[in-house]
A and B are shown apart, each in its own frame.
Chain A
Amino acid sequence: MSEGTLYDKVWEKHKVTELPNGQDQLFVGLHLVHEVTSPQAFAMLEERDLDVAFPDRTYATTDHIAPTEAEKRERPLTDGEAEEMLSALERNTADNGITFFGFESGKQGITHVVAPELGLSQPGMTVACGDSHTATHGAFGSIGVGIGTSQIRDVLATGCIAADKQNVRRIDVEGSLGEGVYAKDIILKIIQELGVDGGVGHVYEYGGSAIEALDMEGRLAVCNMSIEGGARAGYINPDETTYEYLRGREYVPEGDAFEERKAYWESIASDEDADYDDVVTIDADGIDPLVTWGINPGQVIEIGETIPAPESFDARTDREAAEKALEHMEIEPGQSMLGYDVDVAFLGTCTNGRVSDFEEAAKVLEGNTVEEGVRALAVPGSETVREECERRGLDQTFIEAGFQWRRAGCSMCLAMNDDALEGDEVCASSSNRNFVGRQGSKDGRTVLMSPAMVAAAAVEGEVADAREYLDDDRSGTAGGVEEVAD
């Protein structure tokens, strides 16, 4: 077992006791709640006549069902089911003294965007939420885990979850990223190499030069997709980048209290001589942007590579998955993903819905327009992100290019609101899952990529290399990449 890692230290700090079945009872320092997975848990609590144990450690917002068109956010919502869920959350949070960031608060958004930007997520915490992308908060050096509704009931009633300690795999990502290559490409590269179930039984500790060089928004994107690699959680040790990001945020203490808190943050980082269960090195030096070609996030290639043949995979399961993917995506082995027709471009989500994501996409869009017939959506991850983008004038770049500039929510990542694919539409998406049916249509097709790549796909109406738009004298390291015919 691992020893001296951040995971070990944070686990020990939060361990209440060992339960009779061998699991640990673990205190949850930050519980994030949204409208979809919580109403059943609040109902269970009521049935048992239990109160919320730590309302001050519980924060709620609405994201999954949130309409992203301004006029559709008037109450009551026109979608009756969505209104019922939102009302239930408002009632449950008010009744239990839980802070709720609703539409009027100006802070509403995706839980995993809101909590980091408000400074709620901090190093050395345990974070739980009824959403698998809770691993996102690991970017600060916390342990973030996604939980089911019965476990939400556990956390509401006791402030704790019953959990098994996992093995710790250190992933050293070495090298430096070229222009137009981002954190999203790093995590897709990791999943390409380790597989979608490679992380089962593990938490991932990301480190190495490529990770240390990332800003907090990039680190959030990497940790966000830990679950796509099968890892229950993923984290990055806190450093000056982390502390400087936190300084001055709403829920972060100031002055001496900040320094005291920082001492705790520093104390929980992995020791230099920590023992890991496993260590893996990923070479990210000079990688090209990655795009998925299939129906799980592990079916991914660098943009200069061609779609692999099913026979090229060693594992039977990978071969069968590839066959299914080729059929669903209507592609052939040996083809490039460059030029794959796109009907919809979707920017946003808890993976890539932050200010820097829109900034990078805007660089591509500057002076360009969305290809005719392409539906292009820019959905900020939170209202705070939206306001900051608007303050910088980024919204105008999107609108002028032909994007719809929306309000905050999960939107077309999983299409629980009105934003959905239709028929067999292809979506160039900055989200995290390309599962069949994920974006609201069972025949819909999703190609995952970075925000800049989504913008380039929107402009060309097909999968394209965003670097063509970013740097006039690009180095040309991407072997086999077509030149864009202007």
Chain B
Amino acid sequence: MSTIAPTSVAVRPGTVVAGAFVALVVVAAVAPQLLTSGTPTQIDLRNALATPSWSHPFGTDEAGRDLLTRVIHGTGLSLGIGLGATGVSMALAIVLGAVAALVGGVVDTVVTRILEVTFAFPSLLAALLIVAVYGPSVTTSIVAVGIGSMPGYARMVRGQVLAVKQSGYIESAHALGHSPWTVFRRHLLPNAMRPLVAVVTLGIGQSIVWASSLAFLGLGVPPPSPEWGALLDAGRNYITTSWWLAILPGLVIVAFAIAVTALGRSLQQRLEGAAR
């Protein structure tokens, strides 16, 4: 293990902004009542399609519901699906990738074939089939997006584990008398996963975008869910008459994806700096 103290990397202002935004989003996800007092289902048909104003910063939708409140309440759903899907992906990817790389031989070939098959399934098709069988819901979205993104991660994990395994580093760890499980847990896995941190954080952003795509096609969480993609789907028909319904939630999605990616990269740079 490196004993050199991690060099401090200067924190760029961009990273600070990204971090603050992500923190805000997390607060919105976990405790929306801190940010807004309204409920996302407060229907007020007489006040429908109101333009953004002081009392309704994001305007209201076709049922008179305050859009900002809905976006805030939808954060938990969107973020939850994104994290859940990424979690499912990574869990499957680590299991499959590490097993394939470590055990090698026939197991490796079989797993690689399985990955090829799942790769050949466009993620949306997998999602369509899963939703068609089990109906649209939060769980279905998580599973569908998770399975769809898994093959890419599995391949990367496998590649990384192979690289670490073949480096002299692991042999010396063995030579020092560590048990295989300790070697795996303390040396192999962290070293293999470190370069993937940026990929995973990028993946969270992407999972949220993909989950919202499902919702956009009507395959996501059923209405009146305030999930971001569902909001955009609902706003689609009003884009020429009430632009805020289709623009503002989209900006939130994009901003969050950018922020998460930026954080991920900066995190990656720090970790790589620390490892040297």
Partners in one complex: no
Listed in ascending order, the chain A residues whose CB lies under 8 Å from chain B are none
